[in-house]
C-alpha cells in the first residue's frame, strides 16, 4: 500500500481518493488496471468499486472486447457525482463558478460585491442560494483580496469585518463541507501554472494592480510561497523612491518606470522564468516599455519573460484546483 495511512478509516479514505483520481486521470479503467496502477489488491478494488457504484460515484461502462477468456468490465468516475463552488471577492463585484468533478464549469455568474456591506452574511446568502439550486455542491473555495493564514484573514486593510476572521472554519461549520480560503494572487499563480501545464521547476510571479492596490503571487519550484507570517506578495508596500512605496509610485510617478523597477527587484531576488500581468492592467506595448525600464537596472539576459494573461480565468482555475482537491479527498 506504499505510504497509505495504517488506520482503517484513513486507509479507506486514501483508497477512495486514489481510485477517484486515477479514474479521472485515465478516463476509464478495469479492476485489473486499477489494481496494477495503484498497487492495491484486486478484491479490495472490487469492494470499493462496488460501494462507489451503489452510491452513483462510479459508472459501469460495459465490457472490454475479449481476446479469449472472461471479458473485463470497464469503469469510469461520474463527473456529475458532486459539484464544487468557487467564489472570489472583489471590491466591485463577487464572481462565482460551479464545476463538476472533472473541472468543467457548469455555471458562472456575477453578483454585487459582498465586501461593500456585511461581508460574512452576504457571502453566506450567496452560498445558500447556490446550494438551494445545486444541492450536489460538496466543496467551497473562496478567494479573498488579503493575506490568509490557514483560512484566517490576517491582512485586509480596507474591509475591517474580515480582519482576523477565520473564514475557513466559519464556513465549514456553517455549511458542513470542506472549504479552502486563499489569497487572490496565490490562487491566480497556482491557476496559471496548472492551466498552462508548466513544470514544477519553473518559477513564476503573478502581479495584479487590482482594485485594492497591487499584489503578487509567487511560485518557486512548483510551490506557492507564503512566507513566515503568510505575508509574502504584499508588494504594494515595497519602497521604491525616497518617499513612495510601489502603490504610491504607481499613482504619483511614471507608471512604467515604477513597474520596471518592480520587475528589476523581483529579477534580482528570485530570477523567475516569467512575470505575469493581467491584460486588463498592462497592454502588449507597455510590456515592452516595462522591459526597457527594468533593463536599466538588470542585464537583459537575466530578465524574465513578461506575459499578459486573463487574471479572472487564472484566478478561477486556481480556486477550481483547490476545490477539486477537496472533492477528491473530502476528509
Q: Average the pLDDT over 114-138 and give the result.
A: 94
Mean pLDDT of the residues in the chain: 91
Q: How far apart are CA 79 and CA 235, in angstroms?
A: 39
Per-residue model confidence (pLDDT) at position 71 = 73
Q: Mean pLDDT throughout 205-223?
A: 91
Residue 223 reports pLDDT greater than 60: yes
* Stronger pLDDT, 10 or 269, i.e. the higher one: 269
Q: Is the pLDDT of residue 1 over 50?
A: no
CA distance 120 to 89: 11
**Residue whose cell numbers read 510561497:** 225
50-61 residue pLDDT tens: 999 999 999 998
Highest mean pLDDT among 4-8, 115-119, 197-201, 257-261: 257-261
How confident is residue 4, by pLDDT bands cut at 50, 70 and 90? very low
Amino acid at each position: 500500500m506504499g505510504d497509505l495511512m495504517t488506520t482503517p478509516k484513513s486507509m479507506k479514505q486514501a483508497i477512495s481518493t486514489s481510485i477517484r483520481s486515477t479514474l479521472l486521470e485515465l478516463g476509464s479503467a478495469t479492476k485489473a488496471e486499477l489494481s496494477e496502477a495503484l498497487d492495491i489488491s484486486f478484491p479490495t478494488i472490487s469492494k470499493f468499486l462496488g460501494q462507489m457504484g451503489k452510491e452513483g460515484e462510479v459508472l459501469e461502462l460495459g465490457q472490454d472486447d475479449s481476446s479469449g477468456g472472461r471479458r473485463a468490465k470497464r469503469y469510469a468516475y461520474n463527473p456529475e457525482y458532486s459539484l464544487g463552488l468557487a467564489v472570489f471577492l472583489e471590491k466591485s463585484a463577487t464572481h462565482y463558478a460551479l464545476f463538476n468533478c472533472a473541472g468543467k464549469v457548469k455555471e458562472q455568474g456575477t453578483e454585487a460585491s459582498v465586501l461593500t456591506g456585511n461581508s460574512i452574511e452576504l457571502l453566506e446568502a450567496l452560498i445558500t442560494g447556490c446550494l438551494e439550486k445545486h444541492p450536489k455542491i460538496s466543496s467551497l473555495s473562496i478567494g479573498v483580496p488579503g493575506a490568509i493564514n490557514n483560512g484566517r484573514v490576517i491582512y485586509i486593510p480596507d474591509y475591517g469585518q474580515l480582519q482576523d476572521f477565520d473564514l475557513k472554519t466559519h464556513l465549514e461549520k456553517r455549511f458542513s463541507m470542506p472549504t479552502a480560503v486563499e489569497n487572490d494572487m496565490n490562487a491566480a499563480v497556482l491557476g496559471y501554472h496548472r492551466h498552462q501545464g508548466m513544470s514544477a521547476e519553473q518559477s513564476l510571479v503573478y502581479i495584479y494592480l487590482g482594485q485594492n492596490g497591487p499584489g503578487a503571487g509567487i511560485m518557486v519550484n512548483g510551490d506557492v510561497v507564503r512566507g513566515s507570517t503568510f505575508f509574502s506578495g504584499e508588494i504594494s508596500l515595497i519602497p521604491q523612491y525616497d518617499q513612495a512605496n510601489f502603490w504610491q509610485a504607481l499613482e504619483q510617478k511614471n507608471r512604467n518606470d515604477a513597474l520596471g523597477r518592480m520587475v528589476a527587484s523581483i529579477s534580482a531576488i528570485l530570477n523567475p522564468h516569467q512575470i505575469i500581468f493581467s491584460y486588463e492592467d498592462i497592454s502588449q506595448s507597455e510590456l515592452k516599455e516595462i522591459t526597457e525600464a527594468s533593463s536599466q537596472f538588470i542585464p537583459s539576459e537575466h530578465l524574465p519573460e513578461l506575459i499578459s494573461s486573463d487574471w479572472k480565468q487564472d484566478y478561477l482555475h486556481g480556486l477550481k484546483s483547490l476545490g477539486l482537491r477537496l472533492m477528491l479527498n473530502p476528509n
